[in-house]
Amino acid sequence: MKLYDDKRAPNPRRVRIFLAEKGIEIERVDVDIMSIAHKNDANRTLNPFTGVPFLVLDDGTVIAETVAICRYFEELHPQNPLFGKTPLEKALIEMWQRRAELGLFQTIAHAFRHSNPYMAELENPQIAEWSKVNFDRIDGYLDKFDEALSQSAYIAGPDYSIADITTLVAIDFMRILRLKLTQKHPNLSAWHERVTQRDGSVM
């Protein structure tokens, strides 16, 4: 199988960290998003919804969408579970993974994509007001994650999970907006320092 990804984009990084946590190495094909390579004919045929990452199995089956790829590897390699073990753990990890993705990550992504000149071709039209609305919402999400981390060692409870991966990648992605964590969010800052030290937290 081959993983189609882009070295700089945040969603492929989520899969790379997941694979590193699982100790899985697979062949990669570089798709340069900035040169719109994910929308060329060959890649659009593989993933009609466009975007990376996507995984092409040896029989040609394509699994697209970051979390779908991670779930596939979780099912194939259940040791060191990153989606939880019990029904309740699985539900709470799914909840926090979605809060991290649909809340924090998407908010940062919209703020970036609708303001950065390099995104003008990919995000057309760019809407400055929509960027600003999202930019202004980021701090409220950080407050909620900081509060959660006052209660538990990791985002979704006592164990590291895919919710930590999504939150880490989202927070590092803030740099592109010239934002970084401060001591306004001490729990999140301490957590960020801890998870960044894990071997898998490669950029």
User: How many other β-carbons are positioned within 10 Å of the β-carbon of residue 33?
Assistant: 20
Structural element, H or E, at residue 29: strand 27-30
Among 91, 120, 153, 203, binds a second copy (CB under 8 A): 91
Instruction: Out of 27, 41, 48, 60, point to the residue binding a second copy (CB under 8 A).
Output: 48
The position carrying tokens 């950029």 is 203
Q: How many residues sit close enough to a second copy to count as binding (CB under 8 A)?
A: 32
Q: How far apart are CA 133 and CA 115, in angstroms?
A: 11
What is the x/- site pattern for a second copy, positions 132-151, by CB under 8 A? -x----------x--x----
Q: Where are the alpha helices (DSSP H) in the chain?
A: 10-22, 41-46, 66-76, 87-98, 106-113, 128-148, 162-173, 186-196
- Give me the count of residues in the chain: 203
CB of 130 to a second copy, least distance (A): 5
- Would you say 166 or 201 has its CB closer to a second copy? 166
Tell which one of 125, 150, 158, 183 touches a second copy (CB under 8 A): 125
CA distances for 169 relative to 13, 32, 63, 77, 101, angstroms:
7, 19, 21, 22, 10
Q: Which residue in 1, 26, 36, 88 binds a second copy (CB under 8 A)?
A: 88
Task: By CB under 8 A, tell whether 116 contacts a second copy.
Answer: no
**What DSSP designation does 154 have?**
B
Stretch that binds a second copy, among 2-10, 11-19, 90-98, 180-188 (CB under 8 A): 90-98
Chain residues binding a second copy by CB under 8 A are 48-49, 57, 61, 63-65, 67-69, 71-72, 75-76, 86-88, 90-92, 94-95, 98-99, 103, 125, 127, 129-130, 133, 144, 147
